[in-house]
Amino acid sequence: MTRLGEYLTKRSINRASVSRKTGIRTTRLYQLANNPQSNIKADELYLIALAIEIDPAELLEFVCGHLELGKSE
């Protein structure tokens, strides 16, 4: 499960409803929620946040907050 999948599951978000509101296919939402190799696009993340009525920055922080800059030497 991906960080997006964890967020949607934790909040009991209905993916079919998100799909209807965003135009993102349910198969794509399933992929984004369950396949760690899938890469979410900024517009997808933004639309999902709008559909579930949260600040897009909150969802971005949850999904990508674990990332760190590489150290250059």
In a domain, 38, yes or no: yes
In a domain, 72, yes or no: no
Query: Could you tell me how many residues make up the chain?
Result: 73
- In degrees, rounded to 5, the angle at the alpha carbon of residue 35 between the alpha carbons of residues 30 and 36 is 140
CATH number of the domain that residue 25 is part of: 1.10.260.40
Residues 4 and 61 sit within 8 Å (Cβ to Cβ): no
The pTM assigned to this predicted structure is: 0.90
Number of domains in the chain: 1
Q: What is the pLDDT of residues 8-54, one digit of tens each?
A: 999 999 999 999 999 999 999 999 999 999 999 999 999 999 999 99
Domain containing residue 58? 3-64
